[in-house]
Structure 1
Amino acid sequence: MTTGRTLINGINDRVAIRLTVIFGSIWCVYAFLFFSLLPLAAPAWQNTLLYVSNCIQLVALPALMVGNAILSRSSDERAAADHAALVEILDDVRAELADLRQITHGIDARTTDDPTPENVSINQTVIALDAASLPGH
């Protein structure tokens, strides 16, 4: 019996989504605009057209609500999958950061107390960094 309900639910979902797409299209707006102008051309049919209009509204509103709920559900599932993927990436980044901290842990202890040397060599040019060699001293 579950298979029958699943089949019916699947059909209902497809119909609701299809109606949501149809009622949400600009062509539906044009059709309803044309339909609303029909009483101008045939005033005697106004009561019948009003009845048909009310019937369309009674069908369209619930169909749109169900279709939006179904589309929202799939969006929520996609967001949950994205969240799981991002958490996995964050865990990988944290593991890599821990490895880098472990690798670079002793680097500061192996350097000298004075991090600025007196002379720096750049492309075979020696630059003195002591204050006496600066111009004006």
Structure 2
Amino acid sequence: MPNPSTKPSLLHEVNDHVAVRMTIIFGSIWCVYAFLVFSLIPLAAPAWQNTLLYISNCIQLVALPALMVGNAVLSRGTDRRAAEDHAALMEILNDVRSEVAELKTVTNDLARKTNEAASRAPSEVVSFSDEAVINVTENGAHAAPAAKA
């Protein structure tokens, strides 16, 4: 298999260009019209039928390999783009997997803290900030400033 890192020679570039051009030309509707007219020539000139058959066979012998090479050249770009897309999607998938793992860790930690808080006895003193402490028992329902450490 050729090394993809090497630059193709001028001959390879010309061959690829010719193959792609022939593939585009043979794939056009104008080529269909031309071959339709070509196939109708024996109706107008039956004496030319053997010559036209020979020409038709020559065209087929040249066109088939040219079409195969042209399709191979055109598919190289598609294959390269597919490989790049695959690499990008795999990177995104790995990012998503790491994010999901992080979310699982956070969720498990949150569930553990919630279970610990639910299993603790209720507190009688609630502090919302460093400045206010509220005693939730009935006899101490007034807010008192917190002692600064």
Aligned to 1:61: 64
TM-score between the two structures when normalised by the length of structure 2: 0.67
Q: Work out the CA distance in 2 between the residues paired with 1:46 and 1:26.
A: 24
State which of 7, 11, 22 in structure 1 corresponds to 2:10.
7
Aligned to 1:93: 96
Gaps of 5+ in 1: 114-137
CA deviation digits over 1:22-43, x for unaligned, max 9? 1111211111111000010111
**Does the alignment pair 1:20 with 2:23?**
yes
- 2:98 partner SS: helix
The one-letter code sitting in structure 2 at the alignment partner of 1:41 is A
Query: Relative CO higher for 1 or 2, CA cutoff 8 Å, sep ≥ 6?
Result: 1
CA deviation digits over 1:68-113, x for unaligned, max 9? 1112222221211111011000111112112222222222221447
**Does the alignment pair 1:72 with 2:88?**
no
Q: Work out the CA distance in 1 between the residues paired with 2:89 and 2:109.
A: 32
Aligned to 2:84: 81
Aligned to 2:54: 51
Q: Work out the CA distance in 1 between the residues paired with 2:104 and 2:47.
A: 84
TM-score between the two structures when normalised by the length of structure 1: 0.73
Q: Work out the CA distance in 1 between the residues paired with 2:57 and 2:108.
A: 75
Q: Work out the CA distance in 1 between the residues paired with 2:67 and 2:85.
A: 27
The worse-fitting range, judged by mean Cα deviation, of 22-31 and 80-89 is: 22-31
Aligned to 2:141: none
Aligned residues: 111
Higher Rg: 2
Q: Work out the CA distance in 2 between the residues paired with 1:23 and 1:8.
A: 22
The worse-fitting range, judged by mean Cα deviation, of 6-15 and 71-80 is: 71-80
Q: Work out the CA distance in 1 between the residues paired with 2:110 and 2:68.
A: 62
Runs in 1 of length 4+ with deviation above 3 angstroms? none
- 1:85 partner SS: helix
